[in-house]
Copies of this chain bind each other. A is one copy, B any other.
């Protein structure tokens, strides 16, 4: 079953390849009658243009790239990425664009992937996730003139456009809420220390605690896994002056923390209030249901995809802010009953 080409259509229609090309692409240069005849034949034999041939003639690859740098273990249970990808995909497939995905081990590998994608013209642009402080990927995409959008960076990452959430505001709102409930000693279990948003959240947390006269208990860096979330929680709860509330940088760690609290005989929210950054159905399934900072991650991904497509199209794009995460109070937060 040979795959049909425009030459086949041309032969069947009794015209030249050029005429077929014009007809298929809606260019002027063929009569309406001929165009319809050609389109009918194309439809009949199930013609699809060879993407490589098209790309070779200077057309775009109609593909965008996404390289993720996280171990398989983490990607599995972190709902964030899969939701982000879903959102990106929804936007892309609606516009006939494809997504090329690659999971990489480290920053060098990721840069290598960008260079190869660019050299091979496999993608028109890339989404850069998990921005780090002094991220080495930024100068690379800039040098290559590879269209890119940073997902989650600070306003204006060099010349690279980005989409972002106001994590600082979300965290401040959370601290204010906990302080209003009467908490005077709040801890935070942070994610990977070198991620940009970890810094943003850390300084927002410190600032809010200071302003409200709340003691900010040691915030520890983790890899977002449940294991590390559990370990961090154990350490926090074993100190002589334990916090009455903990804010976790993701939901998996929050659930793990809840387990640890129960295992140590503390009641939630009586002895300990828990807040999760990012909300997944699991936060509602555990008991007590977790208070969480909700945001629409698929929508965030879709926004990033739209932004990247605009950048690829050569439109001037800058920094775009997505909706700030909303605090959804559930059963895991309350006034502290014990005073340390």
Contacts and interface: CB of A to CB of B under 8 A. Distances in A.
A50 B120 contact: yes
Given A56-B52, A85-B101, A282 B121 contact: no
Interface size range of chain A in the complex = 35 or more
Contact of A287 (B90, B145, B262): B262
A51 interface: yes
A285 B297 contact: no
A252 B50 CA distance: 42
A122 interface: yes
Contacts of A102: 89, 93, 98-99
Interface string A77-96: 11111110111011001000
Given A3-B119, A53-B52, A145-B1, A76 B86 contact: yes
Given A145-B1, A281-B227, A82 B81 contact: yes
A63 B280 CA distance: 32
Contacts of A3: 118-119, 121
Given A144-B1, A262-B287, A100 B100 contact: yes
A129 B29 CA distance: 45
Interface stretch (A41-49, A161-169, A304-312): A41-49
A256 interface: yes
A55 B53 CA distance: 8
A240 interface: no
Given A53-B52, A76-B297, A122-B98, A282 B252 contact: yes
Nearest to A121: B50
A103 interface: yes
A230 interface: yes
A227 to B, nearest CB: 7
Interface in A285-317: 285-287, 297-298
A263 interface: yes
Nearest to A255: B285
Contacts of A282: 77, 226, 252, 255, 282
A72 B98 contact: no
13 contacts: A1-B145, A52-B55, A56-B56, A63-B100, A72-B86, A72-B298, A76-B79, A78-B82, A99-B101, A101-B101, A226-B281, A226-B285, A255-B286
4 nearest A-B pairs in the assembled complex, by CB-CB distance: A48-B119, A72-B86, A52-B55, A76-B83
Given A75-B86, A226-B281, 7 more contacts: A48-B120, A50-B121, A76-B297, A93-B102, A98-B100, A262-B287, A286-B286
